[in-house]
Amino acid sequence: MNKRIIIRWMAASLVGVVIAASAQAQANQNKASQPSQMQHLVIQVSEAEPAKWNLVLNNAKNVQEELGAKNVEIEIVAYGPGLGMLKLEAVSNSRVTEAAQSGIKLVACENTMRNQKISKDDLHPAATYVMAGVVQIMKRQAQGWSYIRP
């Protein structure tokens, strides 16, 4: 009789441990899918290809949708031929406006502007400026930002 009680008690305990472990695993999985702190992403745009510009804008939008716009800071740094993405007459202008309105920071390289004789009046009004786009990307990486170059 005592053996039966002990075996039942052990079986019940084992079932309890399995249920608790399963619940903890599910909680950990849910926690892992949500960022525990603000995420940071810098994206390089250095090519004069509208298809690449759309890819960059799609990537940024997808990241905001996946993580939540309030959980991620995104900076798109345009330099060299990629600066065309931020020009007022660019085919991507309406999408750039949409990105800026969603909180994505658009950064133009002043070195490129000077070399290509582009003024701030030629660029999207939401653009911000840095002296050197490459240096901006380096700084962001040193600060722990994730970096992509499509």
What is the residue range of 93's domain? 35-148
- Which CATH number do you get for residue 84? 3.40.1260.10
Residue 109, pLDDT > 70, answer yes
- Do the beta carbons of residue 144 and residue 41 sit within 8 Å? no
pTM: 0.76
Provide the percentage of residues in the chain whose pLDDT is more than 90. Answer: 75
What's the pLDDT score for residue 76? Answer: 98
Say if residue 57 is in the same domain as residue 5.
Answer: no
Total of domains in the chain: 2
Say if residue 67 is in the same domain as residue 1.
Answer: no
Assign residue 80 a region (left: φ > 0; alpha: ψ between -120 and 50; beta: otherwise): left
Q: Identify the band that residue 30 occupies on the pLDDT scale cut at 50, 70 and 90.
A: low
Give the torsion sign (CA, 127, 108, 116, 79).
negative
